[in-house]
Amino acid sequence: MTQTTEAPAADRAGHVAGSVRTPPARTTSTFARALNAALADAMEADPAVLMFGEDVGTLGGVFRITDGLTARFGEERCFDTPLAEAGIMGMAVGMAMNGMKPVVEMQFDAFAYPAFEQVVSHVAKMPNRTRGKVRLPIVIRIPYAGGIGGVEHHCDSSEAYYAHTPGLTVLAPATVHDAYLMLREAIASPDPVVFLEPKKLYWSKEEVDLAELRRTFDDGEAPRRIGRAVVARQGTDATLISYGPSVPTALAAAAAAAEEGRSIEVIDLRSIVPFDDETVCESVRRTGRAVVVAEAPGFASVASEIVARVQERCFHSLAAPVLRVTGFDIPYPSPKLEHFYLPSVDRILDAVDDLQWED
């Protein structure tokens, strides 16, 4: 089975093998640990929820996101599958049609392509095909994008394929808080969700009370995140629009721009489909300038769609064309070259400088 050269997420998160524990209040949690807690809490709350995929059982997944779930819930609720992504997805469709709520892991983004026909032809279309009589509450977890030095087929930015497919919800969290709450919301959704987990953020850390997040979600107090973007940093001069793995880079660029005297707002989309036009356009209308930041190639991309939506809705408020900082239109590069490919603070600042400033 494919292994990663990164240290196990479970070790960095402080997990104990074979256990799933609720951390104490206001502890430091990793993105990976938040996902693990979300899965455990969803499975505890609803016996119809089950988790399966390649190596997600005893091993706990390549990134240890499912660590301890088999020990806690048994092999009937969290189990390994053969190396057959199309089969994994086909089984999930059958289970969902019969009242279960499967959560499946594709292990790596580029491993998901053999399952793509199932996703497009059945997962996305079944409710429409049956006039809403058959719903498919499936969550497709995809470790996603670059930044970990992965070899070929282990890093890709495939969000445009899913976003272009009507019938799918497509999410890409960028914070520990959102990792927990958005995965819980995805599992609770009656519709299929593609849940993109930025691999390079698995070991990012925040001070967070996961028990309190669980309480707010279970009590219905947590604000809705599907279809809702958030202002990650306030600013007045220009807006950076990003999602998933590019959000920390956009925030770093905004901090660097502040040292040069420019106030840059950062929007974390969180939800690619459905898209929050209101939050994005309200920001751009105030600042008058915008740059979209994403790791995927720029041609026919989610970034292209964002640019089009902003230009159409904010045209009379724009002081300059909306620009993009994206990956290049090439196959994903080898590990030693990926730092040239990924959007960087310098590339973002260069784009900001090109926004036709009068000074």
25-49: pLDDT as tens digits = 568 899 999 999 999 999 999 999 9
Same domain, 242 and 288: yes
* Alpha carbon distance 30, 279 (integer Å): 27
Give the CATH number for residue 55: 3.40.50.970
Q: pLDDT > 90: what percent of the chain?
A: 83
Instruction: Characterize 30-42 residue by residue with b for buried, 16 or more Cβ atoms within 10 angstroms of its Cβ, and e for exposed.
Output: bbbbbbbbbbbbb
Point out the catalytic residue in the list 153, 154, 177, 316.
154
Residues 151 and 240 in one domain: no
In a domain, 225, yes or no: no
- Residue 344 forms part of a structural domain: yes
Which residues have a Cβ under 8 Å from the Cβ of 7 and sit 6 or more positions away?
A: none
Cα 209 to Cα 148: distance, rounded to the nearest angstrom: 27
Q: Helices 345-353 and 247-259, interaxial angle, to 10°?
A: 60
pLDDT at 141 exceeding the cut of 50 = yes
Q: From 163, 187, 218, give the residue that closes a domain.
A: 218
Packing angle, helices 176-188 and 210-218, rounded to 10:
30
Span 237-254, average pLDDT: 97
Task: Check which CATH number belongs to the domain holding 281 and give it.
Answer: 3.40.50.920
Residue 330: the pLDDT is: 92
Determine, yes or no, domain membership for 358: no
User: Is 359 among the domain residues?
Assistant: no
Residue 9, pLDDT score? 38
How many Å apart are CA 243 and CA 268, to the nearest integer?
5
Contact by Cβ (8 Å): 206, 29: yes
Of 151, 184, 218, the residue that ends a domain is: 218
23 and 52, same domain (yes or no): yes
Q: How far is Cα 234 from Cα 266, in angstroms, rounded to an integer?
A: 7
Q: Does residue 1 surpass a pLDDT of 70?
A: no
Alpha helices in 176-265 (DSSP H): 176-188, 210-218, 247-259
pTM here is 0.90
Cα→Cα distances 70→9, 240, 317, Å? 17, 41, 54
Q: Is the pLDDT of residue 238 over 80?
A: yes
How far is Cα 194 from Cα 172, in angstroms, rounded to an integer? 9
> 24 pLDDT exceeds 60?
no
pLDDT tens by residue, 298-316: 999 999 999 999 999 999 9
Say which range, 125-134, 188-197, 290-299, 303-312, has the weakest mean pLDDT.
125-134
289 within domain boundaries: yes
Q: Is the pLDDT of residue 23 over 90?
A: no
Do the beta carbons of residue 200 and residue 148 sit within 8 Å?
yes
Same domain, 62 and 16: yes
| Rounded distance between C-alpha atoms, residue 75 and residue 82, angstroms | 15
| Structural contact between residues 202 and 173, judged by C-beta atoms closer than 8 angstroms | no
Mean pLDDT for 12-28 is 49
The answer for 291, left when phi > 0, alpha when psi is -120 to 50, beta otherwise, is beta
* Least confident window among 13-17, 65-69, 140-144: 13-17
The residue among 72, 78, 63, 3 whose CA lies nearest residue 33 is 63
Identify whether 33 is part of a domain. Answer: yes
Same domain, 260 and 123: no
- Pair 193, 238 in one domain: no
Same domain? For 147 and 237 the reply is: no
Domain span holding position 155: 9-218
**51 pLDDT more than 60:** yes
| Domain shared by 39 and 138, yes or no | yes
Catalytic status, residue 339? no
Q: Looking at the domain assignment, is residue 1 inside a domain?
A: no
Q: Per-residue pLDDT averaged across 175-200, rounded? A: 97
Based on the fold, state whether residues 21 and 113 are members of the same structural domain. Answer: yes
Q: Which residues contact 298 (CB under 8 A, 6 or more apart)?
A: 304, 324, 326, 327, 328, 329
Q: What is the mean pLDDT of residues 95-124?
A: 93
The answer to whether position 255 is within a domain reads yes
Q: How confident is the model at residue 359 (pLDDT cuts 50, 70, 90)?
A: low
Residue 269's DSSP bridge partners are none
Instruction: Please tell me whether residues 238 and 337 are part of one structural domain.
Output: yes
Same domain, 90 and 122: yes
Here the tokens at position 282 are: 């309200």
The better pLDDT of the pair 234, 156 is held by 234
Residue 190 is which amino acid? P
Q: Write the DSSP string, 4-48.
A: -SSPPHHHHHTPPTT---PPPTTEEEEHHHHHHHHHHHHHHH-TT
Are residue 176 and residue 79 in the same domain, yes or no?
yes
Please report the pLDDT score of residue 239 as a whole number.
Answer: 98
The count of structural domains within the chain is 2
